[in-house]
Amino acid sequence: MNKTCEHVWTECIKVIKDNVTMQGFKTWFEPIRPIKLENYILTIQVPSQFFYEWLEEHYIDLLKSTIKKELGKEGRLEYSIVMENSTSTSKPYTVKIPTTNRRALKNPAVNIPLDHSSTPIKNPFIVPGLKKINVDSQLNPNYSFENFIEGDCNRLARSAGYAVANKPGGTSFNPLLIYGGVGLGKTHLTHAIGIEIKNKFPQKTVLYVSSEKFTHQFVDSIRNNNQNDFIHFYQMMDVLIIDDVQFFAGKEKTQDAFFTVFNHLHQSGNQIILTSDKPPVEMQGMEQRLLSRFKWGLSADLQIPGLETRIAILEKKMYADGIELPKEVIEYLAYSISTNIRELEGALISLIAQASLNKKEVNLDLAKQMIDKFVKNTAREVSIDYIQKVVCDYFDLPIELLKSKTRKREVVQARQIAMYFAKKMTKSSLANIGMHCGGKDHATVLHACRTVNNLHETDKQFRRYLEDLEKKLSIQ
């Protein structure tokens, strides 16, 4: 056989590259080095024991088929595992492991002298070798409790967060899991808790990290064969904040590492704070042992903020930036963007920038133009609240009356028009529209839409009402 190990592995890599994702290839195949080819046995060198186990568990069939293709039916693969001692200048130790009898070799008995006692704990966020006191908390000072507007939508989560900040690790809220949709303030609240803890307990080590960063650091530790240093670093934290834990789903080894960190911190009485886009019961792809631990403490949700809370958020932002805007503009923004606080604040900043750069006065017309460009996906889907406000202003009715159960003709007509525009201009279900209009059912909404369509065809005055309202709602 005249083939070299490099040639065989190069040919194998061509096949493998076509059968795995680019990220998977870079992570698990680029670090491999072919070192020997003898008697139809190709020996490849991998960075660690874990690396070998991962290949055997996830890619063994692909590896076998490629080896057979290049070397024939007698082709076999052996692993050479590098065990590096970071405190030594000697050559790395190598352990050969054949692909046969995989179960028996899951934890091969190899006598390798390893001395990690003198290896410094590595801080994956700054520079290897720094001590615990030097850890940068990664907290944003702008995300404080003072800048977090409380409302019915977030009262439980904020109160629990404040309790944790006053007594980290000493409440029953450990872990504290805060969940909710995009842009509702999960990250802000967790940063606020961390900042408050740092202010009250300067000696405590607090660390905020996204789940994505945690995962990338873990993969790097596997490549560098220093998983123990990675886990030890996280186990040193007094308060650990992990953002978006739902992204651990499907990453079994990352979950194993986090499970080890979680157990250590919890048993040591240290505080764990987590965020997610859904409650534990709805998380898919997570190990049950992790999910059960998420339920040990408190799971508090952040809901979509009500109109009053949205207006308060905008006013707080304006006050902090030292600007003033007409009340009708603030109300329009609050009515138009109802589901995402981050987007709401972004719209305010964009509006002010538009006015400053173009030297225009900030008024309702400018706000409407800006909203149409700023939120392309939702600009033509105004909120049900805003539709109700425009209809009530047009007919000079209090909005509470529109949502009441009164059967007065003028109120019923206004309510039906509001339902009609809500169905036409939003993606809300009939049931949701009915709920916003005083708890009516979907059949009532359907009847209202039919009534409005009939009157539009037969009543000239009524048709003018609809045309005027459609212009006011600025839907082209």
* C-alpha span between 20 and 15 (Å, rounded): 9
pLDDT computed for residue 109 by the predictor: 32
Residue 17 lies in a domain: yes
Q: Which helix (H) or strand (E) holds 95?
A: strand 93-98
* C-alpha span between 28 and 17 (Å, rounded): 11
Residues 352 and 467 in one domain: no
Residue 314 lies in a domain: yes
Which among 325, 348, 374 is the end of a domain?
374
pLDDT computed for residue 48 by the predictor: 72
pLDDT tens digits in sequence order for the chain, 476 residues long: 567 888 888 988 988 888 887 767 877 888 888 988 888 888 888 877 767 777 877 788 888 888 888 888 888 888 887 654 433 333 444 444 444 434 333 333 333 233 333 334 444 444 344 344 467 788 888 888 887 878 778 888 888 898 899 989 888 888 899 998 877 888 899 999 999 999 999 888 899 999 889 998 898 888 888 888 888 889 889 999 999 898 888 888 899 999 999 988 988 889 999 999 888 888 888 888 888 888 888 888 888 777 777 888 888 777 776 777 778 888 778 877 767 777 777 777 777 777 766 677 777 777 777 776 665 444 445 678 888 888 988 888 888 888 888 888 889 999 999 999 888 888 788 888 888 888 888 889 989 999 998 888 888 888 888 888 888 876 43
Residues 348 and 262 in one domain: no
Which among 322, 356, 374 is the end of a domain?
374
Residue 22, Cα to own-chain centre: how many angstroms? 23
Residues 203 and 348 in one domain: no
Contact 237, 270 (CB under 8 A): yes
Burial per residue of 161-194, b for 16 or more beta-carbon CB atoms within 10 angstroms, e otherwise: bbbbbeebbebebbbbbbbbeebbbbbbbbbbbb
Residues 265 and 360 in one domain: no
Residues 151 and 285 in one domain: yes
Q: Which helix (H) or strand (E) holds 435?
A: helix 430-436
How long, in residues, is the chain?
476
Residue 202 lies in a domain: yes
Which among 302, 335, 361 is the end of a domain?
302
Model pTM score: 0.52
Residues 325 and 442 in one domain: no
Residues 287 and 322 in one domain: no
Residue 110 lies in a domain: no
Q: Which residues contact 25 (CB under 8 A, 6 or more apart)?
A: 16, 17
- Long-range contact set of residues 366-371: C-beta below 8 Å, sequence gap at least 24: 367/329, 367/332, 367/333, 368/332, 368/474, 371/332, 371/333, 371/336, 371/337, 371/347
Residues 163 and 270 in one domain: yes
**What Cα–Cα distance (Å) separates residue 457 from each residue in 22, 418, 463, 471?**
59, 18, 7, 19
Q: What is the largest CA-CA distance in the chain?
A: 96
Q: Which residues contact 348 (CB under 8 A, 6 or more apart)?
A: 314, 317, 318, 333
pLDDT computed for residue 120 by the predictor: 40
Residues 434 and 318 in one domain: no
* C-alpha span between 304 and 180 (Å, rounded): 8
The domain containing residue 454 runs over which residues?
384-472
Question: Would you state the structure tokens that stand for residue 374, as one six-digit string?
Answer: 């700023």
Domain with 425 in it: what CATH number?
A: 1.10.1750.10
Q: Of 408, 343, 405, which is closest to residue 378 (Cα–Cα)?
A: 343
Residues 164 and 289 in one domain: yes
pLDDT computed for residue 56 by the predictor: 78
Residues 53 and 189 in one domain: no
pLDDT computed for residue 29 by the predictor: 86
Q: How many domains does the chain have?
A: 4
Number of helices (H), then strands (E), in the chain: 20, 9
Residue 277 lies in a domain: yes
Residue 125 lies in a domain: no
Contact 259, 287 (CB under 8 A): yes
Residue 119 lies in a domain: no
Q: Which residues contact 315 (CB under 8 A, 6 or more apart)?
A: 330
Residues 388 and 334 in one domain: no
